[in-house]
């Protein structure tokens, strides 16, 4: 899906990526040097030098969990809903990004920039309605960050995800907020689009390879303000790699990942166009209890906003409550944000501002009540149109 691709391109190499408070940006000397080196590079690889997605691929797991450094853009994205032994509830996001800058740097120095690495880390404390978020930007050559191509290990400083057998181990800590989680898949990998090829627009190559683990049993610990909570819950994992971004008339997207209590999972996204209409390449995936899946075209589902919230910090207005209807499958769902202030701002870096946070789900399936939870991401509601990001 398009919803996690916050990439650094030749026109943005002097900026940080992110989605967090300006005061949480990594400010070490090595990190700040990264952007001055990148922006002064003699050669920046053009998109034509990277592998575009023009047809489905044959995925091989666990190999394909690892990095695909012939593609320009890649991200690994985790969200989850966790509950402590005391009943206190949390949501979390941990995302690692790799953005290709120069495939073959002429400078042999370890400070040369082949890839830029960004990571986002956020915990939503539902009891206190506090959204703690942080970001990091680093380079690979000095060992500050990286993504292995032969084994699934991705890191940015001391934030890390790696494969341990079939389990995914997530670790991140910043200030007095941290997590240490073990994720175990309860369903097989789900391939989105055409056997894992997710088309984003009519142009050849404007597509990605995209798959998910939509339901992963999760155990471990969460730390808030120095207090550690032992938790259990469920997580969602996305992995996507490509060489393209949005097309000029696509301004942003509304993306939903949903886990229902009848063991059905759902991902839908609506890409929005400049004229306010829904882009025809919007789509989704319906995942049954047994792990089998069904691709959803734009015509097979409707997403309708029902309530908005305006940020006091950025004045952006986001639609935070929604109705999602899938007539052919008999689902009518009501989406509500757990709390409103889960906005991610980057005013002092790229200027990209978006909303990403915890949602609850109620509704009906063929007149039987269903409940669940999920995550929602909303982009393009303030600032520059994401479809013009590279102009």
Model pLDDT, residue 31: 37
Q: 148: which residues sit within 8 A by CB, 6+ positions away?
A: 66, 67, 154
Model pLDDT, residue 385: 56
Please tell me which residue, 8 or 307, carries the higher pLDDT value. 307
Q: Please, what are the domains in the chain? A: 22-388 (2.40.370.10)
pLDDT digits (tens, 9 = 90+) for 303-313: 999 999 999 98
Measured between its terminal Cα atoms, the distance across the chain in Å is 22
CA angle at 292 for the pair 290 and 295, rounded to the nearest 5°: 145
Please tell me which residue, 354 or 360, carries the higher pLDDT value. 360
pLDDT digits (tens, 9 = 90+) for 121-167: 999 999 999 999 888 888 776 778 999 999 999 999 999 999 999 99
Tokens of 230: 């032992």
Q: Strand pairing partners for 201?
A: none
Q: Is 209 left (phi over 0), alpha (psi -120 to 50) or beta?
A: beta
Q: List Cα–Cα distances, 29 to 33, 137, 192, 301, 349, in angstroms.
A: 6, 12, 40, 48, 16
Burial (CB < 10 A; 0-12, 13-18, 19+), residue 35, is: buried
- Of 265, 272, 277, the closest CA to residue 377 belongs to 272
pLDDT score of 102 more than 90: no
Q: Strand pairing partners for 194?
A: 197
H or E element: which one contains 97? strand 89-100
The Cα–Cα gap between 231 and 359 comes to 19
Using only C-alpha atoms, the chain has a radius of gyration, in whole angstroms, of 20
pLDDT score of 333 more than 70: yes
pTM here is: 0.88
pLDDT score of 282 more than 80: yes
pLDDT score of 35 more than 80: no
The Cα–Cα gap between 208 and 244 comes to 8
pLDDT digits (tens, 9 = 90+) for 43-95: 444 556 889 998 999 999 999 999 998 999 999 999 999 999 999 999 999 99
Q: Strand pairing partners for 318?
A: 309
Model pLDDT, residue 107: 58
The Cα–Cα gap between 14 and 44 comes to 13
The Cα–Cα gap between 381 and 291 comes to 34
Find the mean pLDDT for residues 294-310: 97
pLDDT score of 97 more than 60: yes
Q: Strand pairing partners for 294?
A: 286
How many Cα atoms are found within 13 Å in the side-chain-facing hemisphere of 317? 4
DSSP 43-66: ----GGGSPP--S-----TTGGGS
């Amino acid at each position: 899906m398009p919803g996690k691709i916050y990439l650094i391109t030749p026109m943005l190499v002097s900026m940080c990526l992110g989605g967090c408070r300006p005061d949480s940006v990594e400010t070490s000397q090595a990190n700040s040097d990264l952007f001055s080196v990148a922006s002064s590079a003699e050669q920046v690889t053009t998109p034509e030098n990277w592998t575009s997605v023009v047809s489905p691929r044959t995925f091989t797991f666990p190999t394909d969990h690892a990095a695909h450094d012939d593609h320009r853009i890649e991200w690994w994205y985790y969200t989850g809903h966790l509950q402590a032994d005391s009943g206190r509830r949390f949501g979390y996001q941990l995302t690692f990004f790799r953005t290709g800058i120069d495939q073959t740097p002429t400078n042999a120095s370890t400070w040369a920039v082949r890839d830029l690495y960004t990571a986002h880390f956020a915990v939503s404390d539902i009891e206190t309605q506090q959204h703690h978020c942080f970001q990091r930007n680093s380079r690979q050559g000095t060992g500050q960050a990286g993504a292995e191509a032969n084994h699934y290990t991705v890191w940015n400083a001391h934030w890390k995800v790696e494969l341990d057998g079939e389990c995914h181990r997530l670790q991140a800590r910043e200030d007095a907020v941290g997590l240490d989680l073990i994720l175990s898949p309860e369903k097989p990998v789900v391939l989105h689009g055409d056997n894992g090829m997710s088309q984003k627009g009519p142009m050849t190559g404007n597509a990605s390879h995209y798959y998910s683990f939509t339901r992963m049993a999760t155990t471990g610990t969460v730390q808030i303000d120095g207090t550690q909570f032992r938790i259990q819950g469920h997580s969602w994992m996305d992995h996507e790699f490509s060489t393209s971004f949005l097309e000029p008339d696509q301004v942003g997207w509304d993306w939903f990942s949903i886990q229902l209590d009848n063991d059905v999972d759902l991902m839908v996204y609506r890409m929005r166009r400049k004229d306010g209409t829904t882009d025809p390449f919007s789509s989704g995936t319906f995942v049954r209890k047994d792990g089998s899946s069904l691709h959803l075209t734009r015509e097979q589902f409707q997403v309708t906003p029902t309530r908005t919230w305006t940020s006091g910090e950025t004045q952006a207005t986001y639609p935070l409550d929604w109705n999602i209807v899938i007539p052919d499958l008999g689902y009518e769902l009501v989406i509500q944000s757990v709390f409103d202030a889960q906005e991610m701002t980057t005013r002092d870096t790229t200027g990209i501002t978006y909303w990403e946070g915890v949602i609850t789900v109620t509704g009906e399936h063929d007149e039987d009540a269903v409940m669940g939870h999920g995550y929602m991401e909303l982009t393009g509601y303030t600032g520059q149109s994401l479809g013009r990001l590279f102009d």
